[in-house]
Amino acid sequence: MFKRIFYTAIWLGLLTGGILPAQAEFSPFKPLPAQPPIPADNPMTAAKTHLGRQLFFDPRLSAAGTHSCNSCHQVMGGGEDGRALPAGTGRQGTRNTPTVWNVGFYTIYGRDGRWTRLEEAVRHHLLDPGEMGNPTPQVLVARLQAIPGYARQFQAVFPGAAPITPETISTALAAYLRTLVAGNSPFDRFLRGEKRALSPQARRGYQEFDKIQCSSCHFWVNLSGPVPGLAFQMGEGFYELFPNFVGSEYDQKLRLLEDPGRYAVTQDEADRRLWRVASLRNVALTAPYFHNGSALTLDEAVRVMAKTQLKQNLNDQQVSDIVAFLHSLTGVFPRQTMPRLPPSPGRSVWPP
């Protein structure tokens, strides 16, 4: 079981290996950098992130103009929808919406980690009939092409014969998403040496969190394991088995065994109940919790994780201390200007 928690256990070797200066006191946590790793084939430009931001807030990306990316990933809030399960265009989703804040610090995307690139994850969402509801990629492309402002901007950002494609739409959106960085939380300030940034209770919670080994999975800059390009190198993503210890009352109460996790992608029994390690940054803003949104409060989520992952029964004091620590992971959100969505003057983009 333990081995399965560290699905790709290479990081332990790296931890004790050559990447850290021998003299440095080792901490499994690091302050969040100002920017996530930027892939070489999607460099950040102002024109591209501006376009991505327009697209993110534009309901014309959905089949009937009812949903934008922001409908479920509410960036003015916690970057998700606050619901147990998302309301898509065609059907209710089956998994709790993860936040888009700090999404660029993940190594894999989706609750089951099925996508290895953010661009790929975005593209899937655009084209999933149950999410944005577009029946074909062509329908979406034609709709955006008919909006003069988009036609012009895509041509400028992605010059070529076919500037608007599902790939270029996803590329611009991913570039915008990588600007969504909410760091400089009290915990970041604490890590940078500002010891009073954490309350005494949050500090007790931090010690408890480390002691019972929540930090086995929730570590490094994003508290979600290694991040390529930010000192930890890992190719395969970082998963945990959840629940790790089967048999607690929560299996039934929170329906934890119903969704097979990564098994749904690979059909490999070894992947049953494997899930991407979720970041704990801004976790106080993303209730309810877990892949099915079954835990309504952070207190409950902490209790369940301790029990099912670490076989620990926490008392009320331990829970509230750890929760105080988790509250210290709420970052500072950058001020954003609302984009103007380019019009289709005098003409509806929707058929009658």
Chain residues in the site for its own copies (CB under 8 A): 57-60, 64-66, 71, 74-78, 81-84, 87, 284-285, 287-288, 293-294, 296-299, 323, 326-327, 330, 333, 335-341, 343-350, 352
Beta-carbon contacts of 175 under 8 Å, excluding residues fewer than 6 positions away, are: 42, 44, 45, 48, 49, 52
- Give the shortest CB-285-to-its own copies separation in angstroms: 5
Token duo for residue 65: 């103009």
Beta-carbon contacts of 295 under 8 Å, excluding residues fewer than 6 positions away, are: 254, 287, 288, 289, 301, 304
Token duo for residue 330: 């709420």
- What's the rounded Cα separation, in Å, for the pair 11 and 233? 8
Q: Which residue number, 33 or 65, has a Cβ lying nearer to its own copies?
A: 65
What is the residue whose two structure tokens read 């983009």?
349
Q: Which residue number, 58 or 271, has a Cβ lying nearer to its own copies?
A: 58
Indicate which residue of 131, 208, 240, 300 is catalytic: 131
Sign of CA dihedral 89, 77, 39, 28: negative
Token duo for residue 308: 């099912």
- Give the shortest CB-280-to-its own copies separation in angstroms: 12
The region that residue 55 occupies, defined by phi over 0 for left and psi between -120 and 50 for alpha, beta otherwise, is alpha
Q: Which residue number, 1 or 76, has a Cβ lying nearer to its own copies?
A: 76
Q: Which residue number, 107 or 134, has a Cβ lying nearer to its own copies?
A: 134
Identity at 313, one-letter amino acid code = N
- What's the rounded Cα separation, in Å, for the pair 52 and 210? 38
- Give the shortest CB-328-to-its own copies separation in angstroms: 11
DSSP, collapsed to helix, strand or coil, labels residue 150 as helix
Half-sphere exposure of 348 (CA within 13 A, CB side): 5
Q: Which residue number, 37 or 65, has a Cβ lying nearer to its own copies?
A: 65
- Give the shortest CB-112-to-its own copies separation in angstroms: 22
- Give the shortest CB-199-to-its own copies separation in angstroms: 14
State the distance between the two ends of the chain, measured CA to CA, in whole angstroms. Answer: 56
Active-site residue, 236 included:
no
- Give the shortest CB-197-to-its own copies separation in angstroms: 17
Q: Which residue number, 27 or 350, has a Cβ lying nearer to its own copies?
A: 350
Cβ atoms within 10 Å of 201's Cβ, excluding its own = 17
Could you give phi then psi for residue 149, rounded to 5 degrees? Answer: -60, -40
Name the residues annotated as catalytic: 131
